[in-house]
Amino acid sequence: MPLVRTGDLVSAAVAEGRGVAAFNVITLEHAEAIAAGAESADSPAILQISENAVAFHGGRLAPVAAAAAAVARASSAPLALHLDHVTSPALLEAAREEGFGSIMFDASKLSYDDNVRRTNEVVRFGLRHGIWVEAELGRVGGKEGETPLDAHTPGVRTDPEEAAAYVAATGVNALAVAVGSSHAMTERTATLDHALVSRLRDAVPVPLVLHGSSGVPDAEIRAAVAAGMVKINVGTALNTAYTGAVRAFLAAETAAVDPRKYLVPAREAMAGTVADFLGLLRAPRR
């Protein structure tokens, strides 16, 4: 079916009191697995390409975006395409050229005032070009190359009053908040501050986004959605499934050389992970 828009999927999730998942695409197999998982779970999903993934593809957005969009259009599931953790102005321009309908602009490492100023510029860019903009306040932490943050340190988490002021000042369409998750966790051991999620939901007039969801156990994700979290971002869990399947295959088949032999189980493992996360988000929030 035709691509759907991230903003529409998020609005529908809010209206229906459930969450919507966004999965990171690195390779063609990731995109195919997300589509297969969404089809088997009979759920919508968002395919998101991060600035780091674009860097992996030589800094070129067009090839990976075209592949992900083609996979999404060929799927029977409602799928949207999103650009994630953008910091570079050149990538914003590339997103416009490639027809992205949504981006996450990440100024979370800047001071509050600089974050507001830069994000507001991006929101105005988005308004000119019909692009839905997510931004981050607080520090989810754990992104590649950055000093790991303790997600439970006061000051790292998002303050509800500051979040309300930030949304009013920037005009963002959705807000990524720091409530106890951290990027790139390979074990699902994070505990979230659900009382803070509820306070943020009450204070902030736009949908809330949970980053670093790979490290969050099923029950914590369900509780976060029940408390008001809407967009659930998952990346590392797909890579854990992919690499685990490749590792197991090559350990058993030491003479194998055809990548299709191990990419089939890798893709199937990722599709299973996608379907599992989507299954968590189906239940009504309240």
Please tell me the distance from the alpha carbon of residue 2 to that of residue 232, in angstroms, as a whole number. 22
Ranked by CB distance to ligand G3H, the top (closest) residue is: 235
CB-nearer residue toward ligand G3H: 126 or 141 = 141
CB-nearer residue toward ligand G3H: 24 or 115 = 24
Report the residue from 86, 92, 185, 274 that binds ligand G3H according to the rule CB under 6 A.
185
Please tell me the distance from the alpha carbon of residue 271 to that of residue 242, in angstroms, as a whole number. 9
CB-nearer residue toward ligand G3H: 86 or 124 = 86
Q: Which residues are catalytic?
A: 84
Q: What is the radius of gyration, based on Cα positions, of the chain? A: 18
Q: What x/- string results for residues 189 through 228 when contact with ligand G3H is judged by CB under 6 A?
A: ----------------------xxxxx-------------
CB-nearer residue toward ligand G3H: 149 or 165 = 149
Distances (CA, A) of 223 to 191, 244, 270, 280: 11, 28, 24, 10
Site for ligand G3H in 72-111 (CB under 6 A): 84-85
Is 158 among the residues that bind ligand G3H (CB under 6 A)?
A: no
Q: How far is the CB of 54 from Zn ion (least distance, A)?
A: 14
Is 40 among the residues that bind ligand G3H (CB under 6 A)?
A: no
Q: What are phi and psi of 89, to 5 degrees?
A: -60, -35
Kindly tell me the burial class for residue 284, based on how many C-beta atoms sit within 10 Å of its own C-beta (0-12, 13-18, 19 or more): exposed
Is 183 among the residues that bind ligand G3H (CB under 6 A)?
A: yes
Number of residues that bind ligand G3H (CB under 6 A): 16
CB-nearer residue toward ligand G3H: 110 or 184 = 184
Site for Zn ion in 154-213 (CB under 5 A): 211
∠ CA 167-16-46, rounded to 5°:
70
Choose one: 5-13, 92-100, 179-187, 194-202; the region binding ligand G3H (CB under 6 A): 179-187
Site for ligand G3H in 18-37 (CB under 6 A): 24
Q: Where are the alpha helices (DSSP H) in 18-148?
A: 28-41, 51-56, 61-74, 89-97, 112-129
Report the residue from 110, 236, 265, 276 that binds ligand G3H according to the rule CB under 6 A.
236
Three-state DSSP class for residue 24: strand
Kindly tell me the burial class for residue 127, based on how many C-beta atoms sit within 10 Å of its own C-beta (0-12, 13-18, 19 or more): exposed
- Asked if 26 and 58 count as a contact pair (C-beta separation under 8 A), the reply is no
CB-nearer residue toward ligand G3H: 24 or 75 = 24
DSSP 20: E
Amino acid found at 135: A
Judged by the rule CB under 6 A, the positions of this chain that interact with ligand G3H are 24, 84-85, 183-185, 211-215, 233-237
Interface residues toward Zn ion, by CB under 5 A: 211
